[in-house]
Amino acid sequence: MKLGILGYGNLGRGVESAVMQNDDVELKAIFTRRDPSTLTINSKTAKVISVDEIEKYKEEIDVLILCGGSATDLPEQTPKYAKMFNVIDSFDTHAKIPEHFQNVDRAAKEGKKIGIISTGWDPGLFSLNRMYANAILPEGSDYTFWGRGVSQGHSDAIRRVDGVLDAKQYTVPVQKALDSVKNLENPNLTTRQKHTRECYVVLKEGADPKKVEEEIKNMPNYFIDYDTTVNFISEEELKKNHSKIPHGGFVIRTGKTGINKENNHIIEYSLKLDSNPEFTSSVLIAYARAAYRLHKEGQTGARTVFDIAPSYLSPKSADELRRTML
């Protein structure tokens, strides 16, 4: 399977790296909006090509992985490129998924291609686990916790505060809330009860820490509904201790069965990831394999993780899977 990447940020570099763990996958090209000569890539085989030339590679690329952002890139890119390529994206604006799905479905059918949207781990693996658990235990409650991990959006928000040179924000699930769920207390949890926010902030010279801390803690949408701690550290410390992009989380469903609903069950799925972009990329590659196969079967249109039989993700044959993994 010959892959292309569009966009060489954290996620694009993650896909480039994850290709090395997949023997059946070859990275052919990295497409960029920047001047290709300014990009230094890790891959020995891939070419760096301006996105303006992408149409010329329609025959060379089996699946194009779109590594742009959900806010402005993917709503435009995924439908556009689904007309020319089988595409995979990690579109994660949950409220806009139905609209995005329709746009990609229309384009992919027009191009006779497959477009798999909203893969990764949330949406993606977490969604799958919510769905399986709900189908199996119809009477119950769902809980999703994120972290401990770096939220790029919240880190960016802090960096926009006056007086801040650099920052990292960790989302942390509240252990007490997790315990309550696992103890079958069936809690109704507020935003504040589920997660705390830990900020590591480097100040610009002369900035007032009191003022910066107040501004962060009271920021609407991002921080005001949470218990937030702000730690001021040096630039060196930020680089040394906070340069990785870990993440993870928990999807838990608690449910009841029995004539008198006397039996409780807990289904729990959790991830603990050293590198969010590399893990997300690994999921994207597994779904690229699925897109490649679905297209070979003559299927077209948009798909999500819900629509794809698990075996399509594995390089092993159905026979081998039954023999070794069932």
Binding mask 32-51 for a copy of itself (x = CB under 8 A): ----------x---------
* DSSP conformation class of 261: S
* DSSP conformation class of 46: P
Question: Strands 164-173, 195-203: parallel, antiparallel or unpaired by DSSP?
Answer: antiparallel
Give me the DSSP letters along 138-206.
SSEEEEEEE-SEE-HHHHHHHHTSTTEEEEEEEEEE-HHHHHHHHTT------HHHHEEEEEEEEEPTT
Candidates 1, 3, 18, 157; binder of a copy of itself (CB under 8 A) is 18
Q: How far does the chain reach from its first CA to its final CA, in angstroms? A: 26
Q: Which of residues 56-115 bind a copy of itself (CB under 8 A)?
A: 94, 97-98, 101
In the complex, least distance from residue 110 CB atom to a copy of itself, rounded to whole angstroms:
20
Residue 315 near a copy of itself by CB under 8 A: yes
Binding mask 138-157 for a copy of itself (x = CB under 8 A): xx------------------
Residue 322 near a copy of itself by CB under 8 A: yes
In the complex, least distance from residue 216 CB atom to a copy of itself, rounded to whole angstroms:
29
Separation of alpha carbons 316 and 322, rounded Å: 10
Q: Residue 86, exposed/middle/buried by CB under 10 A (0-12, 13-18, 19+)?
A: buried
Q: Tell me whether residue 175 or residue 259 sits nearer to a copy of itself (CB atom).
A: 259
Separation of alpha carbons 275 and 79, rounded Å: 28
Q: Which of residues 233-262 bind a copy of itself (CB under 8 A)?
A: 256-259, 262
Residue 61: HSE in the Cβ half-sphere, 13 Å Cα cutoff? 31
Backbone angles phi, psi at 242, to 5 degrees: -135, 35
Contact region with a copy of itself (CB under 8 A), list: 162-170, 204-212, 231-239, 307-315: 307-315
In the complex, least distance from residue 230 CB atom to a copy of itself, rounded to whole angstroms:
28
Q: Which two tokens stand for residue 306?
A: 């819900």
Number of residues that bind a copy of itself (CB under 8 A): 70
Residue 224 near a copy of itself by CB under 8 A: no
Residue 5 near a copy of itself by CB under 8 A: no
Separation of alpha carbons 96 and 101, rounded Å: 9
In the complex, least distance from residue 266 CB atom to a copy of itself, rounded to whole angstroms:
4
Q: Tell me whether residue 84 or residue 273 sits nearer to a copy of itself (CB atom).
A: 273
Residue 294 near a copy of itself by CB under 8 A: no
Contact region with a copy of itself (CB under 8 A), list: 48-56, 158-166, 190-198, 266-274: 266-274
Residue 123 near a copy of itself by CB under 8 A: yes
Separation of alpha carbons 111 and 15, rounded Å: 24
- The answer to whether 286 touches 308, Cβ cutoff 8 Å, is no
Residue 26 near a copy of itself by CB under 8 A: no
Separation of alpha carbons 275 and 225, rounded Å: 27
Interacting residues toward a copy of itself by CB under 8 A: 14, 17-18, 20-23, 42, 94, 97-98, 101, 118, 123, 125, 127-132, 134-139, 256-259, 262-275, 278-279, 281-283, 286, 289, 304-311, 313-315, 318-319, 321-323, 325-326
